[in-house]
Structure 1
Amino acid sequence: MALLAGKIVCITGSSRGIGRACAIECAKHGATGLILHFLGDAETEQEVLSLQHEIESNYAPAKAVGVPGDISDPATSSKIVETGVANFGRIDVLVSNAGICPFAEFLTMPHAVWERTRQVNLDGTFYVTQAVAKQMEQQTPQGGSIIGISSISALVGGGLQCHYTPTKAGILSLMQSCAVALGKHNIRANAILPGTIATDINKEDLQDEGKKEGMVKRTCLGRLGAPDDIAGPVVFLASDLAKYVTGASLLVDGGLFVNLQ
């Protein structure tokens, strides 16, 4: 079933992990245009070129365009919208996914780590959400779906995440307020809260086998999440199946949050 038939979807941080999985899943479900934001270094550029080839080779008539840039710079969000409109005429879905989590001890954390994490995760989400929402408000038919990738960390703490968890709580709050502010324009805004997903953001942390085993045991489903576990809920919230869903938060964590044992 093509849940996103004809939709134009923008995904930030699309070169790997959750962003890449979302791009592929959206193409599988009929999205005809993919705007793939990536950081712009040599590694992410090659990853996005590979992703573009995969999408266009396997999910015709889908087309993909890449947009490089630091998401913490407001100019990058402007460029994302300009590129999307120039190539596809409109934007129907935004998946604000780009984020970082450089684990650090609170008492010795350099202020620069706090600043950079906030700039990428929260400021970047605000900039791209505002830029895309302006486009959604202007286009005909008006409207769209905005999905902020928050985290279970919006709800619970982490000893090495005192800089990260506030940004994810901020994204959750931002989506709630955007739902209120943008509903009159038929723009929906929702948040997805992933649990522990095996991606590059926690690759080093998960190399500790004891810690990894403990994380697995804490889930009800007995495994860590994979990027495509998030992509399915993203497609749902982007689709008309969720046409009356806005201001919601969807916890996708394999039962981690509810498991107190």
Structure 2
Amino acid sequence: MRLLEGKTVLITGASRGIGAAVAVECARHGANVAINYAASPAAAEDVVAQIAALGQKAIAVKGDVADPSAAQDFVKAAVAAFGGVDVFVSNAGICPFHSFLDMPVEVVDRTIKVNLNGAYYMTQAAANQMKDQGRGGAIIAISSISALVGGGMQTHYTPTKAGVHSLMQSCAIALGPYGIRCNSVLPGTILTDINKDDLADVAKRTYMEGRIPLGRLGQPEDMGGPVVFLASDLARYVTGAALLVDGGAFVNLQ
């Protein structure tokens, strides 16, 4: 069953990691996909090639989500290529681990601009296109389990992810009258470029795995199904919700 047949999906930060996996899974379910990326054109084109191999169409659009104009450019490129926007996935994010007391100002500012401001501008641009089309749509933001719990080396990151989740709650109210659903997905520890250096410490990785009831860290592909569900008509009455995808880490208090 192809849950996104005939739909156009836009995904930010989709040249690798969670974004790339979600892009490919959406294509597997029948969507044409526009991916945004900030660097690594070769990686972006590889994702486009994977989507083409599934029989779907894809484009890659370079842009820094922290720049408000990138949002307009991304949406315009998708509309030119595919005729509209049905689903938008706000995924682009950074997490340069750093201690709190000596946190550089530029690290805080850049993290906020990419993770929170970028999600805001991109969501706004996609929502305006959906409103003008008049047929509703779905917006999904990749938040994080960090929206719910703290991290000593992530004091700049966790507030942005809480903000992304809050953005989806407010947008669910603001955009509901237009038939646009807005939800967030909260991944646990997923093995991506963001945390590969941090988890290179074998002892820390073993400790993290031991805290997860399912007994393993997440893979980017684990995010595909939850996003496809929220994007599809199976979730037609789901908006303002948050879906934890963490292997049970959050509920394990022992």
Give the TM-score taking structure 2 as reference length.
0.99
User: Which structure 2 residues correspond to residues 142-181 of structure 1 after superposition, within 5 A?
Assistant: 142-181=135-174
Q: Which residue in the other structure is 2:19 paired with?
A: 19
* DSSP-derived class of the 1:215 partner: helix
1:95-137, CA deviations, whole angstroms, 9 ceiling, x for partnerless residues?
Answer: 1000000000000010110000000000000000000000000
Q: Distance in 2 between matches of 1:23 and 1:200?
A: 17
Q: Distance in 2 between matches of 1:54 and 1:176?
A: 33
Q: Distance in 2 between matches of 1:254 and 1:54?
A: 27
TM superposition shift of 1:214: 0.7
Q: Which residue in the other structure is 1:229 paired with?
A: 222
Stretches of structure 1 that go unaligned for 5 or more consecutive residues are: none
TM superposition shift of 1:53: 1.2
TM superposition shift of 1:3: 0.3
Q: Distance in 2 between matches of 1:66 and 1:76?
A: 13
TM superposition shift of 1:67: 0.7
Give the TM-score taking structure 1 as reference length.
0.96
* DSSP-derived class of the 1:180 partner: helix
TM superposition shift of 1:168: 0.1
Q: Distance in 1 between matches of 2:253 and 2:23?
A: 34
Size of the alignment, in residue pairs? 254
TM superposition shift of 1:51: 1.1
Task: Give the aligned residue type for 1:3.
Answer: L
Runs of 4+ in 1 over 6 A off after TM superposition: none
1:36-90, CA deviations, whole angstroms, 9 ceiling, x for partnerless residues?
Answer: 1000x3xx20001111111112x11x11011101100001100011001111111
TM superposition shift of 1:198: 0.4
Q: Which residue in the other structure is 2:190 paired with?
A: 197
* DSSP-derived class of the 1:5 partner: coil
Q: Which residue in the other structure is 2:111 paired with?
A: 117
Stretches of structure 2 that go unaligned for 5 or more consecutive residues are: none
What RMSD, in angstroms, separates the aligned Cα atoms of the two structures? 0.6
Q: Which residue in the other structure is 1:68 paired with?
A: 62
Task: Give the aligned residue type for 1:257.
Answer: F
Q: Distance in 1 between matches of 2:27 and 2:59?
A: 13
Q: Distance in 2 between matches of 1:188 and 1:149?
A: 14
Task: Give the aligned residue type for 2:60.
Answer: G
